[in-house]
Amino acid sequence: MTELNVPPMPFIVGVPRSGTTLLRFFLDSHPDLAIPQETHFLPALGIVECGTSVFQERFVSPDFGESPSVKGYLSALVREAVHAIIVRSEFWSDFNLSASELARQMSIIEPFTVSDGLRCFYRMYAHQAGKKRWGDKTPIYATCMTAIQTILPEAHFIHIIRDPRDVVLSHKGRKAWATADDVGLAAHYWQEIFREARRQSACVSHFMELRYEDLLNDTTTVLKQVCNFISLAYCPEMEVNQRTAGGRLNELQDSYDHLGEVRVSKSQKLDNYRNAVMPVDTTRIGRWIQELTPQEKRVIEEIVGDSLLELRYRLADPAM
């Protein structure tokens, strides 16, 4: 039951603290589109997809592989692996879905594929929100777009870019993050993800970039461009993102590691997203000018200076 003609699926990617959550809530406010909390499990499913193909190519002869019983057996193995990866993922509790119902709906898919199993998950999430289309917002997927496209050819990647100095400043407020106390480390982190996203953009079929600053300054125009990119009719309700943001944040739960210890608490998650439920605030643009020290500005620009110029962000005045 492999699905054909599925609509474009937006993937919002970028360096964390670049406005990915804000864009998620804008799009999630559309009456037809649901975007869940960050998933993070797609790279593991990419390994399943790759491993399944390699296994069948190397160890299953064509004649044997065409046997209905063998096809059913291999489908069952992949189905079980996909279900386990999704429901045992760190953020599964944030989706407020039933593991048994996901298993039931996956059991209907025959022959089972990783792609259709993933679509089953996203469809369930969209259905509970009363919507017919879905997307994803996991910033770090900027580094694995080519792998995601292999599994979901309908993926349309939206890379949101924000002035790295404002990104580093935002990282400084995240005390649980490794980059919180080291602006140089945060700048390198930004640079590595930005460069990898740019490299992979040449290898995927559907990719667009937008700037956080443009999203805040000209929200309607940018959202219309995004809607056109993903073949979605623009709706003015999208700009009232606070209408749905609160409900989405209420879905968040504590996340646990494999030992059952709380790795990220609900309160930490809510703190990370506290600005996303506020009205659009253009004063968040360029905060680095006043809030970073001259030394911090120099450190950051030594690392990302070429990218700043490439993106047409102005460098700091040496006297600042």
| Series of mean pLDDT values for 10-residue runs along the chain (320 residues) | 75 95 93 95 87 60 58 81 94 94 95 93 96 97 96 97 95 70 92 97 97 96 98 91 68 75 76 73 92 95 96 81
| Preceding peptide of 62 cis, ω within 30° | no
Q: What tokens does 139 get? A: 């910033």
Closest CA to 152 of 11, 246, 20: 11
**Do 27 and 35 contact (CB within 8 A), yes or no?**
yes
**Do 262 and 255 contact (CB within 8 A), yes or no?**
yes
Where do the DSSP E strands lie in the chain?
9-13, 33-34, 133-134, 136-137, 155-161, 207-211, 255-256, 262-264
State whether CATH 1.10.3720.10 applies to domain 8-35+141-320. no
- The residue type of 161 is I
Q: What is the β-pairing status of strands 255-256 and 133-134?
A: unpaired
Query: CB under 8 Å to 229, separation ≥6 — which residues?
Result: 8, 10, 156, 158, 206, 208
Q: What is the β-pairing status of strands 255-256 and 262-264?
A: antiparallel
> How buried is 229 (Cβ within 10 angstroms: 0-12 exposed, 13-18 middle, 19+ buried)?
middle
**Tell me, what's the pLDDT at 175?**
66
**Do 28 and 168 contact (CB within 8 A), yes or no?**
no
Please state the domain extents for the chain.
8-35+141-320, 41-134
Please give the DSSP secondary-structure letter assigned to residue 179: T
Kindly tell me the sign of the dihedral angle through the C-alpha atoms of 217, 220, 224, 226: positive
